[in-house]
Each structure stands twice: as structure tokens, then as C-alpha cells.
Structure 1
Amino acid sequence: MELHKRILLLVTGDILAAMLAILAALAIHRSAVPTVADFMGVGLYRIALFVAILVFLSFLAEIYANHHQLVTSEIAFKIVFSLGVACLVFSFLSHAYPDDPHGNNLLVSAVIAFGILQFLCHVAYRLYVKCRGFARRVLILGVGPLAGRMGAIIPASDENYVLSGYVQCANEATHVPPSIIIENTGSLYETVKRQQADKIVVSLSERRGVFPIRDVMACKLDGVEVIDAPTFYEQVTGKLFLEGMNPSWIIFSDGFKVGCLRKVLKRGMDICCAVTGILLTAPFFPLIALAIRLDSPGPVFYRQERVGEKEKPFWLYKFRTMRSDAESATGAVWAQQNDSRVTRVGAFFRKSRIDELPQFFNILRGDMSMVGPRPERPEFVNKLKESIPYYSERHFVKPGVTGWAQVRYPYGASVEDALEKLRYDLYYIKNLTLSLDLMIILETIRVVLFRKGAR
């Protein structure tokens, strides 16, 4: 299961827990099993608001991020923190709507019930991931550098995987510990059954003439999952393994599907987000403009040519955060940590992402989407296309104000960073869904509030 799907699974579990918490609160206060009518009597908008606030605050508390690295005490602390903030929010709402007939006692009981259910669900998931009794045994076919890399990512996985070992099928140089190379006596099929493997990851440096196709087919027909190294890497890390991909893998892979309905729904969500963003932030534009003018001479807005969908150039608009002559001597260069060209006000705007608010107008114009690969400058794109394979493929969708790469990886200022971010961008394009977009938007809010990643 891909990384974003595991996060969505946890979110779905919390949504169900929130609804069960409401039922539990009704049962406590009425001393009877609540009916559907009782549940609906709470009010659909109240139920939706209750669920939305709790899930949103769970995102802010980073309950879903790096879940496999959390211990039980950390899960408990994060849940308590998010529920404490939730109580403050609900207290404010109860004062804003004092005529609520359901009262605060029901709400308090529901919040407590949700905290207990959420903790139990997340601990159960952690036990599943950590418990070797539920582990899925992975057998890696190959002993070369590709096989070694696949074995190295298993311990960091949020899936319940255990490395069963490596099987050598050819005379490739050994890049894995010899102690966990399995002696392949008899057929590969017999070795797989003896190891009780649940998944085979084909990681051969060269398949021609050495790939045991009959044995692998027998394993597949016997219920053992067989996948190649790039697919396994994608499932575990939430990004694509560019070095192991080829055009046929892209063509025949299950993904890269953007139908007409999905495009229409995505565009509708973009317009709603952009209009909402403009309405909420436009009153602050005069104050932002005044701060920029008082801090340094030059225009308030800054426009820059970027590469958009199908590599069509467009003008991206931002609030100016650098000196007006920032690139007069150097030309186009990436922003660096503690960049001297950034003004005092600009440093705050970049950290808080205030400088990117004018991009809501880029969204309305159709140049950008709310979620997508970050648009790059033509000068950088031409350079990166020469050194990074598949870089042009990121332009098959509209660029975004935020994206999977932005929330999973810090600001990039080198070819190496661009390569790493491309792994995430292509993963997003391959797995593009509205649920993934919504999850990225929620993660972006957390990143912005805690001022992470910008330069």
C-alpha cells in the first residue's frame, strides 16, 4: 500500500472514530442505545464540523506524519495536545452559539470518547506494524546494488515488512551482507515456500538470460505477490525510483490517469480554494504592501516567468521579498539559506508563505492549480532537463501553489534537490486523486503554521 494511502487509512479511521464518539456520548447522556434519529438529531453540520475540526487538528499535531517512527507515549502526547486545542476551539464556538440545545456536556463526552478511540486505533496500527507475527516476509531476487538498496529501505517502512533474505540468480557482484543470502537449493519456487515469503521483489541488475520466469510464475499463481524494484520503492517511500524506471514501466504501470471528470472536479476545487483564499486575505493586502514599501525601495508585487503545463511559460505573481536588484549581477540563481538578497520583511513573508498569496490569481487565470509540482524558471528547467531523466514529465499537469514534494521535502536549491523533489512530483502525477490533493492541502497548512521548509 502506497504511503499516502496509509495516511488516508488512518484519517478514515479517525473519521469513523469521531462518529462513534458522538454515538457513545449520546448513549452516556441518554442511558440508552442511540437510534439513527438520535444521531441525525445532532445536526449534520454539527457532526461535519466536529469531525473536520478533530481531523484537522490531528494533522496539525503531526499524528499522521511519520507514524511508523512514533512510540506509544508520543502518540498519546500528540492526541492530548490536539484534543486540548480542540476543547479551546469548541469552547469558542459554544460561546458564539449559546443557544445550542445539545449543551456542552455532550460535546465534552464526545471529545473524550474520540480521544480514547483515536488512541486505541493508532496504537493498534502501531502494534500491527511492529508485531513480527503479522509481518509480511519479503524475499529480494538479486544481490547487486539494486537489491541492496531495496533491502535498505525495508526497516524505514511504515508497512509491516520483514526481510526474508536475498536470492542470487546470476553472477552479479554482491552488494548485500553475505549472511542473509539464501542458498537457492533446488528451484526458486521451493526456496520461496521454504522461506514462507509473502512478496518477491525482483531486483536483478540484468534480467536477460537469468530471470527464472517459470519459477516466478509458479510463485505468482500460488498467491505470492511479485513486484519489481521501482514499484516496491514507490510503495515504501511515497516517491518514484527514477534510476530503476524505464519508459515501458511508465506505460504499463497502474497510474498516470487523469480523466475528464477528475480534471473538472480538480478545477472546481482550485476555484473554490482560490476564491476563499482571496476573500480571507485580500483585506490584509494593503498592510502587506505598506510593510514592503517601508522596508525597501521597489515595487510591491514581483512577477517572474515560470514553466507551466505542457511547458507553456506564464507569469507567476508574488509579493516582493528580495531587493529590486537581487539578480542584476548574478542572473537566475536559486535562493540559499539565509540569502543576503532577502529583505527583513521578506524573510518573514517567505517563512510564513505570505509572499505566495497573489498566486491565488494565477489559479483563477488557469495558469496554476492549488496542488501540483512547483513551477520552475525556464533557465533552471533547461538545465535540469539535460541532467535529470524524466524531468519534462512533471509538466504534464498544471503546476501548483503547493504539492507532494513541498510537504515531503524541504526547499531545493541544487540539482540533487531537484532530483529528489522530482521523485515526489512524479509520484503525485502517477497517483493523482482529489483525496491526495486534500491531504496535501491539510499538510501545507501545518507546514505554513509551523514555518517549515522556506528560504
Structure 2
Amino acid sequence: MSKRYLAMMVGDVFCAGTAMLAAFLLRFGEMPHLADFYGLGGFRLAIFVLVMIFSAFFVELYKQDKELTPFDLAGRIAIELVLGFFVLSVIFFFLPHVMEKRGILLLSVIIFGLFQFLWHAGSRGGLIFPAFAKRVLILGTGPLANQMGSLVVESGSNYVLSGYVSCSREPVYVPAQSIVGSEDGLYETVRRQKADKIVVSLGERRGVFPLKDVLSCKLSGIEVMDAPSFYERVTGKLLIESINPSWFIFSSGFRVTALNRLLKRGIDIFCALLGGAFFLPFLPIVALAIRFDSPGPVLFRQERVGEREKPFYLFKFRTMRTDAEKGTGAVWAQKDDPRVTRLGRFLRKSRIDEIPQLFNVLMGDMSLVGPRPERPEFVEQLKKVIPYYSERHFVKPGVTGWAQVRYPYGASVEDAVEKLRYDLYYIKNLSVAFDIMIIFETVKVVLFQRGGR
């Protein structure tokens, strides 16, 4: 664990202790005496701190390969607080004389969440520990190296560009003044530049890659990454243009276990039943509104491609005219699409038109979270021009997904490429915790009505 993340964890311990003191002050109007922390009082404080730090580890707040946005951070902390309070409540249930009362615990958890968010947001943004930003040295000077350099600069305070290292037969696409060494003296260049990370960004490695020097750097504690892995870490998507099949095979992830599938299916069924029960009273109102707004059926059924490219029929509330594709065939929806009805525009923006897909989830054709299912006509077209497009069909499609919350509505081949980057990242890092994070992000997208057309 890096010094930065160790400092963040120590800060969380301080935040947890301070939160419990603040809760005591707010509840009783006075600070506890120092003697209260001996014996049972100290045990209570230690239990609270340990449970909250464990919860933070569970939601991966200290995982170094996660670059979190403020909303991602808030979502993870929210999950952490719910988990922490649940564990503390269980301990209180079995040991009521040992733990603080649940009123104090709840107040302590809420205050801790506020303190922790401010602490992590400041440290991750470089406001508290600007010196903890990692210095990145890029091996290469070609187009890929230039792209990685721009990525480092755009990453904010998380990384600092140390420069580029030139290699023989590698074209120069980077500023000449930023080249700080050559492949022959890589190890000396790393020490001189005090780099923390080397990003290998060579267009062609055969006969060029300085294996001995890179190995020396690796064994000296310098982190070595290839360009696709660094791109994934910083952006939350995959650089599919620079990925070959062996990268898929040997990289971590892309492994969905039977237990993970079972948990995911259980959550799908529970959420679909819960969502169906919640929305059931409103469905007749939506159905009547659609019938009064435009002639045609209330529900719209359309063939989509599901897991392992098996076709299924997706259900939605109808938002377009019944003759929307007459004379044109299958086409993507465009911005301000004239085929969308007046009510349909609202249903799309609010995502109410997606509610019938809960039935698809119950039937097992879809999951709550996953890549959005595409139409067969578009799938055949995209498979011909986009590498690895078929790989997105190795998991069930979802009502919402990582691409849906990170990228606006796609209506072109270029958009499909960008969304595929996010879909493959999701499949690589699939987990229940990741699904919960996407659901939190979806709530934000729905509330602000972003992305729909």
C-alpha cells in the first residue's frame, strides 16, 4: 500500500474516533472524560473504528487501481455506512452491555461518513497531499506514448508527467523538450527523474523493448504497466485499439464465477420484484397517458441480442409513433428525433419507458446491470467494423450499465466503439459491489435526466 493510501487510512481512523466524540457531544451536550476511554469505553471506540475501517476495505476505498469521481466516492461511502451500521447493530444485539446504544452508533456513523468524504475527496484531489501524486515516466515517443502523456496531464493531481524515454526505431510524436532519456539508460533516467511508475507505450516492442533495464526498475520497486492497463486505471474503460487477444487471456479479470452469477441472479430477482411492486400502482396511469397521447399499443416489443448472442424480445413502454421505421428500416434514435411522441420524450428522459424490462429481468433474459442489449441488425454491422464487439455478449445485457452512466446515448459506430470500451471494462471488473455502484450512478442519471433520446 502506498504512503498516500496509508495516510488516508490513518486519517479514517482519526475521523472515526472524532465522529464518536462528536456524536457523544451532540447527544449529551458534553465531551466524555478521559477516564471513559479506559476499559469498556476504549473497547467500544476500538470496535467502532475497526468495523468502519473494515467496511471501507470492503467497498475498496483503499484499492489503488480505482480512480473515483466525487459521486463514485460518495456512493462507496454510502454503502460503507450501511454495512458498518448493520455490523454494529448485530454486535449491539448480541452484546448490548458492551456496545453504545444504537442512537449514538447511528449518529457516529453519519458524522464519520461526512468527515470521511471530505478527507478522501481532498486527498484524492491532491488538495491535502499534493506531494503524493505519482510521477509517471513514459517509455516510448510514438502516437501511443503521446496519448498516454496527454492522459497523465488530464488526470488532474493524481499523476505528474516526468517525461518520455526514447527508443530506437520509435517515431517521435511528443515534444522534444519532454524527452528525458533513452532506452540505454532507462534505470538511471528513472532514478534521476524520481519516477514512481513506468508506462510502456511502444508501438512495436520486438527488438526495441529494453528488457534488462525494465526488469531492474521492477525489482527496485518501480511500478511497471503497459499502456492499456494504465488507460484502464485512469479512465474506467479499455483501450481496445491497443489490446490483442493475449491481453484478454492473461490480464486479471474477465472471470465470472458461479458464485458471482448466483449472487447477481438473486439480486436481480429481488430488485425486479421490489421494483415491480413499487411501480405497479403507477403503471395504469402511464398506460392511459400513452393511449391518449398517440394511437397504438401501450407496450413496445423489439428483438434484441442477449447473452451469447441469443435473441430475445425486450419490452418497453411505446415512446414513438407506430410507423417510426416505415420506409427506413432499423435506425438509431437521434437527438430531438421527430418520431418520438410528446409523452415519449418525457418517458425516455425519465427512463420510465424502461420499467417493463423488469419482466425481462424476471424471465432471465436480462440482468439489472450489464451492457445494454442491441438490435440484431446493428450487432451484425458493428461486429464487422469493431474489434472484440462480440465479447460484450458473454454476460447478460442489463437495464442499466457502466456505459449508460458514463457515456451519453449512442447513435453511431463511433459511439458504439466508445460504449464498448466501458462494456468490456465492466465485464473485466464484474462484481456485486460494482453493480451497486452503477445502480447509485443510475439514480443520479435519472434524477438529472441525462443521456436519453
Residue in 1 that maps onto 2:328? 330
1:17-36 → structure 2 map (5 Å cutoff): 21=19, 24-30=22-28, 31-32=31-32, 33=36, 35=41
Q: CA deviation at 1:26?
A: 2.5
Q: CA deviation at 1:106?
A: 9.8
1:169-248 → structure 2 map (5 Å cutoff): 169-184=167-182, 187-248=185-246
Residue in 1 that maps onto 2:257? 259
Q: CA deviation at 1:121?
A: 4.0
* Residue 118 (structure 2) pairs with residue 123 (structure 1): no
Q: Structure 2 CA distance, aligned partners of 1:446 and 1:237?
A: 19
Distance 1:20-1:288 versus aligned 2 partners, 3 A rule: farther
Q: Structure 2 CA distance, aligned partners of 1:392 and 1:17?
A: 47
Tell which deviates more after alignment, 176-185 or 137-146.
Answer: 176-185
Q: CA deviation at 1:214?
A: 1.1
Distance 1:16-1:421 versus aligned 2 partners, 3 A rule: farther
Q: Structure 2 CA distance, aligned partners of 1:356 and 1:36?
A: 51
Distance 1:147-1:270 versus aligned 2 partners, 3 A rule: same
* Equivalent pair of 1:144/1:176 in contact (CA under 8 Å): yes
Of 354, 357, 375, which residue of structure 1 is paired with 2:355? 357
* Equivalent pair of 2:124/2:158 in contact (CA under 8 Å): no
Structure 2 stretches of 5 or more lacking a match?
Answer: 60-66, 79-100
Aligned partner letter, 2:264:
K
* Equivalent pair of 1:129/1:160 in contact (CA under 8 Å): no
Of 395, 398, 416, which residue of structure 1 is paired with 2:396? 398
Distance 1:148-1:266 versus aligned 2 partners, 3 A rule: same
Secondary structure of 1:305's aligned partner? strand
1:18-97 → structure 2 map (5 Å cutoff): 21=19, 24-30=22-28, 31-32=31-32, 33=36, 35=41, 66-67=69-70
* Equivalent pair of 2:231/2:239 in contact (CA under 8 Å): yes
Residue in 1 that maps onto 2:344? 346
Q: CA deviation at 1:183?
A: 3.1
Residue in 2 that maps onto 1:419? 417
* Equivalent pair of 2:167/2:183 in contact (CA under 8 Å): no
Distance 1:222-1:111 versus aligned 2 partners, 3 A rule: closer
Distance 1:293-1:421 versus aligned 2 partners, 3 A rule: same
Q: Structure 1 CA distance, aligned partners of 2:328 and 2:128?
A: 50
* Equivalent pair of 2:139/2:166 in contact (CA under 8 Å): yes
* Equivalent pair of 2:317/2:353 in contact (CA under 8 Å): yes
Secondary structure of 2:182's aligned partner? coil
Cα distance per residue 1:21-67 (max 9 Å; x no partner) = 3553125534425848979xx9xxxx99xx9xxx9xxxxxxxx9744
Distance 1:14-1:298 versus aligned 2 partners, 3 A rule: farther
Distance 1:152-1:308 versus aligned 2 partners, 3 A rule: same
Q: CA deviation at 1:197?
A: 1.5
Residue in 1 that maps onto 2:297? 299
Residue in 2 that maps onto 1:382? 380
* Equivalent pair of 2:238/2:421 in contact (CA under 8 Å): yes
Distance 1:437-1:307 versus aligned 2 partners, 3 A rule: same
Distance 1:396-1:103 versus aligned 2 partners, 3 A rule: closer
Aligned partner letter, 1:281:
F
Secondary structure of 1:155's aligned partner? helix
Q: Structure 2 CA distance, aligned partners of 1:412 and 1:237?
A: 18
Cα distance per residue 1:273-327 (max 9 Å; x no partner) = 1111101001111000000000000000000000000000000000000001111
TM-score scaled by structure 1?
0.80
Q: CA deviation at 1:125?
A: 3.2
Cα distance per residue 1:146-172 (max 9 Å; x no partner) = 100011111222662111111111222
Distance 1:141-1:124 versus aligned 2 partners, 3 A rule: closer
Q: Structure 2 CA distance, aligned partners of 1:368 and 1:36?
A: 49
Residue in 2 that maps onto 1:436? 434
* Residue 133 (structure 2) pairs with residue 135 (structure 1): yes
* Equivalent pair of 1:129/1:158 in contact (CA under 8 Å): no
Aligned partner letter, 1:359:
Q
Q: Structure 2 CA distance, aligned partners of 1:407 and 1:185?
A: 41
Q: CA deviation at 1:198?
A: 1.3
Q: CA deviation at 1:17?
A: 5.8
Secondary structure of 2:304's aligned partner? strand
Of 244, 269, 280, which residue of structure 1 is paired with 2:278? 280
* Equivalent pair of 1:138/1:162 in contact (CA under 8 Å): yes
Identity of aligned residues (%): 60
